[in-house]
Amino acid sequence: MGNNSWEARADEYSLYGFTDLPSVHERGAVVVTHGEGPYVFDTKGRKYLDSNSGLWNMVAGFDHPGLIKAAQDQYARFPGYHAFFGRMSDQTVLLSEKLVEVSPFDRGRVFYTNSGSEANDTMVKILWFLHQAEGKPQKRKILTRQNAYHGVTAVSASMTGKPYNSVFGLPLPGFLHLSCPHYWRNGKPGETEEQFTARMAAELEATIIKEGADTIAGFFAEPVMGAGGVIPPSKGYFQAVAPILKKYGIPFIADEVICGFGRTGNTWGSQTYDFMPDAIISSKNITAGFFPMGAVILGPDLADRVQAASEAIEEFPHGFTASGHPVGCAIALKAIDVVMNEGLADNVVRLAPRLEAGLAEIAKNPNIGELRGVGYMWALEAVADRATKTPFASTLSVSERIANTCTDLGLICRPLGQSVVLCPPFILTEGQMDEMFEKLDKALKKVFAEVA
């Protein structure tokens, strides 16, 4: 890298987030300039098929004309406002109506943030506020799961069941992480998947009894753990845990930041796994990545209770300057229409079996221990020994090497632990899917030949 190259300038002035620093220092950052469909291009003119959809969110690709026009038209009409003091844009009102309409709830209320992290953080504050108002100030503990990802603010990072948050002195007190419902990795010898699910449910109830149901504010779960490595729940998991939460009066919050708006093959991941939450957290696909936005969608019971608590003190004292931004809302309205009515959601349903079959063929490689996923979100887990599920030594950085090799071949995928994650844009064609298969297979074979 020359001293004035894009890579050198990025390295000099940027603080990288969630980046393998030895790798980026050796190889340099990839500085992208523009995108076409599911492809992005860097400063050197190299073309990459982005099988990560940016960061799960660019589901309509990088140059969708309808989304660009929606942004341009709204910027020309009304470029910015807030949602404070009883004032909000017309686009904000329209989007709230649309989100409740497409939600699994028959009615509800919506609160806007700028990200999924802020939406989860906001939901926790809503629960604390609600329980305090209802005379139960001790109901503050939050239940999530190990390996779950809920965000990076101090509260949402405390919800995130990842060991890396220990470097920040997190989690905060009162954030409890139950076992990860990953049967392939965490099932005991001789334990059936149904028995594993029963064990997960028993752990939940035992935790509630131990901590005291009157101290627990809520339970948060992703329908499929995304940044945990695309981990679908074990069979019957949500049907086992939902009645327990209801029995003890604990609100059930579905974190649909990744799963929402089509990623699993249904509008909501909670529909895919057949459970009804009390509230939904949305972000990413809500604007197809064209604007930073998050939303808390409260179902009827929580909406009524929070409204009553707010009325009692004459306000809900929380918000962000750009909450319900009119441009973001206009883009979101168009993005929802694009996904649901322009064939993108249909494309996921139509091609998901082809995606699974192609990855299953690649997963025959003896160094792939598990292929897991649903819809348009999948992971391949690398192992040194398939029979014993023994991972490669962490010093080998196998998934990082696979991702880097894919990048060299013109394919962007994501390393997560020992896994490689693929979550392609919903516009992916069969030909582009074949391109992804070919480059991924080539990268896997190259890296495994070097380390196995």
Tell whether 333 and 354 lie within a shared domain. Answer: no
Residues 79 and 91 both lie in one domain: yes
For residue 324, pLDDT over 70 is answered with: yes
pLDDT tens for 384-403 read: 999 999 999 999 999 999 99
Domain-located, residue 210: yes
Does residue 312 share a domain with residue 221?
yes
Round the average pLDDT of the chain to a whole number and report it. 97
Residue 7 lies in a domain: no
Write down which residue in 318, 341, 364 finishes a domain: 341
The residue-averaged pLDDT of 214-236 equals 98
Asked if the structure places residue 42 within a domain, the reply is: yes
Q: Are residues 337 and 347 in the same domain?
A: no
Residue 10 lies in a domain: no
What's the pLDDT score for residue 3? 78
Instruction: CATH number of the domain at 194, please.
Output: 3.40.640.10
Indicate if 305 and 204 belong to the same structural domain.
Answer: yes
Residues 176 and 245 in one domain: yes
Q: How many domains does the chain have?
A: 2
Is it the case that residue 63 has pLDDT exceeding 80?
yes
Residues 315 and 395 in one domain: no
Final residue belonging to a domain, choices 341, 374, 408: 341
Q: Give tens-digit pLDDT for 98-124.
A: 999 999 999 999 999 999 999 999 999
Q: Do 334 and 358 have their domain in common?
A: no
What number is the average pLDDT over the span 372-382?
98
For residue 305, tell me if it sits in a domain: yes
pLDDT over 80 at 431, yes or no = yes
- Note down the domain range covering 416: 31-63+343-451
With a cut of 80, say whether residue 283 has pLDDT above it: yes
Average pLDDT over residues 305-321: 97
Residue 452: band (very low, low, confident or very high) from pLDDT cuts 50, 70, 90: confident
Q: Indicate whether 15 pLDDT > 70.
A: yes
Look up the CATH number of the domain holding residue 366: 3.90.1150.10
Structure tokens at 447: 């890296």
- Is 2's pLDDT higher than 80? no
53, part of any domain: yes
Same domain flag for 269 and 172: yes
Banded model confidence at residue 179, pLDDT cuts 50, 70, 90: very high
Q: What is the pLDDT of residue 46?
A: 97
pLDDT digits (tens, 9 = 90+) for 350-361: 999 999 999 999
Does residue 16 form part of some domain?
no
* pLDDT of 393: 96
**Does residue 22 form part of some domain?**
no
- Over residues 379-386, mean pLDDT: 97
314 lies in the same domain as 423: no
What does the pLDDT read at residue 137? 97
To the nearest whole percent, how much of the chain has pLDDT over 70? 100
**Domain end residue (candidates: 282, 315, 341):** 341
For residue range 16-28, what is the model confidence (pLDDT) as tens digits? 999 999 999 999 9
Instruction: Indicate whether 429 and 377 sit together in one domain.
Output: yes
**pLDDT band at 1, cuts 50/70/90?**
low
Determine which of 22-26, 74-78, 168-172, 357-361 has the lowest per-residue pLDDT on average. Answer: 22-26
Sign of the Cα torsion 345, 55, 167, 155 reads negative
Residues 233 and 110 in one domain: yes
